[in-house]
């Protein structure tokens, strides 16, 4: 019963008989025609052939290298000129700052007030005693005796003895008026100022 059934027709029977035709390779466009570098190939098997720029990249690299070399030379010259200017510019040295905390401070010294120098002692006035009787000429002038005579009244006593020792009058020969000279009474041991004897002779 299965023999009576018809076999289905083979729809690919004709294709097996026809040999596939090779796809011709894509030729690059002539150099004179503009090439669209951004063209999208229609088939996955097609390759994008970009034209090589001959000499373009090499020139660009040379230009960049030359520019960099010029910039480096200019920068080096500027740096050297600044160094020379700084070395020739005189700089004022700053005074060193002393660290007060580390320097020991000297102990305060007491203030010594100098004592005033003593005034020089006045030179002693040399009194002149012309007659050498023990009274200066100034004293004799004050008393009234003669500075040139040691015994002005001539009673036997020097003017100084009469004034300072016996307390008699150097201008009167007999102070007590008993008719005896003052000098004679003293030699005899009597008091030239009145009655009586000299109990103690003055030194």
pLDDT tens per residue across span 132-159: 888 899 889 998 899 999 999 989 999 9
DSSP string, 86-154: HHHS--PPPPPPP-TTTSPPPPPPPPPPPPPPPPPPPPPP----TT-SSS-HHHHHHHT--TT-SSSS-
For residue 197, list its beta bridge partners: 190
What are the pLDDT digits (tens) for 106-127? Answer: 788 888 888 888 888 888 877 8
For residue 55, list its beta bridge partners: none
Cα–Cα distance measured from residue 70 to residue 79, given in angstroms and rounded to the nearest whole number: 14
Confidence of residue 8 (pLDDT cuts 50, 70, 90): low
CA distances from 183 to 20, 30, 79, 188 (A): 200, 182, 127, 9
How crowded is residue 119: how many other Cβ atoms within 10 Å of its Cβ? 6
Whether the model pTM is above 0.75:
no
How many residues are present in the chain?
203
Q: What is the pLDDT of residue 53?
A: 46
Comparison of pLDDT for 15 and 136, the residue scoring more? 136
Comparison of pLDDT for 13 and 83, the residue scoring more? 83
């Amino acid at each position: 019963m299965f023999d009576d059934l018809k076999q289905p027709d083979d729809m690919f029977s004709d294709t097996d008989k026809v040999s596939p035709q090779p796809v011709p390779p894509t030729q690059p466009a002539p150099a004179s025609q503009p090439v669209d570098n951004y063209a999208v190939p229609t088939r996955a098997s097609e390759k994008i052939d970009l034209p090589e720029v001959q000499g373009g990249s090499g020139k660009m690299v040379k230009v960049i290298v030359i520019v960099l070399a010029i910039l480096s030379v200019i920068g080096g010259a500027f740096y050297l000129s600044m160094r020379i200017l700084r070395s020739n510019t005189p700089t004022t040295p700053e005074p060193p700052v002393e660290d007060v905390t580390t320097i020991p401070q000297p102990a305060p010294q007491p203030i010594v007030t100098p004592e005033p120098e003593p005034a020089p002692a006045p030179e002693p006035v040399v009194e002149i005693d012309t007659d050498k009787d023990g009274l200066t000429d100034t004293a004799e002038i004050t008393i009234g005796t003669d500075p040139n005579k040691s015994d002005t009244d001539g009673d036997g006593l020097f003017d100084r003895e009469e004034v300072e020792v016996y307390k008699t009058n150097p201008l009167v020969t007999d102070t007590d008026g008993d008719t005896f000279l003052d000098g004679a009474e003293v030699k005899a041991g009597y008091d030239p100022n009145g009655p009586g004897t000299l109990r103690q002779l003055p030194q």
